[in-house]
Amino acid sequence: MTVKATEAVSDSCEIEFIDAEKVKSVRKAMKSANAVSLLADTFRLLGDPTRVRIAFALAKEELCVCDIANLLGVSQSAVSHSLRTLRQMKLVRFRREGKIAYYTLDDEHIARLLDEGFRHVEELV
Amino acid sequence: MTVKATEAVSDSCEIEFIDAEKVKSVRKAMKSANAVSLLADTFRLLGDPTRVRIAFALAKEELCVCDIANLLGVSQSAVSHSLRTLRQMKLVRFRREGKIAYYTLDDEHIARLLDEGFRHVEELV
DNA sequence: ATACTATATGAACATCTGTTCATATAAGCA
DNA sequence: TGCTTATATGAACAGATGTTCATATAGTAT
């Protein structure tokens, strides 16, 4: 079902499209570059064992920086840097109580991402 | 509610724990290092705009390498490299039909990860 | 066989990322 | 005022990552 292309990329393949119909429908459903970029940023932040553990811990309990560091066996500085990037992408939020900063997940989507993700990897055995 | 610690990390904070109870309960719930590592790998793979778009496209339609490359405006080589890493983490699977390799998402978890993720970023406005 | 083509892959390169170290800030207490 | 401590952050460095380029492989057709 090879069909002529309307806008093929020169470097990709010689023939234009194998199935132009499917490509067209997917192109129509495709998310905006901005949404894709934000989502990739979100996943990239979670693409690190330390931050996965931080996020998982914060899904269970509100915790301060010090307790997170001790829980994970990671330096305070490393945790603080990680929390900053997580904060910038709105994955976590925090409140200050005197000297202590308490962090939690920012919304339920993140907790569900973790759940769904763990369900996936548990199938990998 | 500061309590004595049983196993604090020296480099993290001077005092041992702010709230040992919460830390203890989180520690009990914590996933294995292996599961965490696999999940971080999974997220890291999706932490790239090109691969997010590939995964999203494959959530909609089964597509060959050539059509993915044209759809995204990316070189065939880049797509093939990306598909390889996605394949290695069991995020996608493929079937061969003659010269052509058709790819799809490997399981429903990945599609749900994308959905949940997009729902999160859409709240970032 | 040869020619063509869809896909795969190794190497190289520039860019990005996570941690460490040192230091700064800010809050509580003497 | 000082002293202590919980957190934040900038700089730097080693290691990882995505793309490109060149080339290899595998399947079709002549």
Average pLDDT, chain A: 88
Task: Report residue B104: phi and psi, to 5°.
Answer: -140, 170
If one compares A103 and A10, the residue with the highest pLDDT of the two is A103
Q: Which pLDDT score is estimated for B124?
A: 87
CB pairs under 8 A between A and B: 219
Question: Which of A16, A37, A94, A121 is the mutation pick for testing B, counting most B CBs within 10 A?
Answer: A121
CA distance B116 to A107: 11
Q: Band of the pLDDT at A50, cuts 50, 70, 90?
A: very high
Give the CA dihedral A58, A63, A65, A66, nearest 10 degrees: -130
Nearest C-alpha neighbor of A18 from the set B99, B104, B80: B99
User: Which residue has the closest alpha carbon to C26 C1'?
Assistant: A99
A39 touches strand C (CB under 7 A): no
Mean pLDDT lowest for which of A57-66, A107-116, B1-10? B1-10
The mean per-residue pLDDT over the stretch A22-27 comes to 94
If one compares B1 and A10, the residue with the highest pLDDT of the two is A10
CA distance B92 to A36: 19
The yes-or-no verdict on residue B15 having pLDDT over 70 is no
Task: Report residue A25: phi and psi, to 5°.
Answer: -70, -35
- What is the reported pTM? 0.89
A5 touches strand C (CB under 7 A): no
Tell me: the pLDDT tens digits for B55-82? Answer: 999 999 999 999 999 999 999 999 999 9
Residues 6+ apart with CB under 8 A from A76: A65, A66, A69, B11, B12, B13
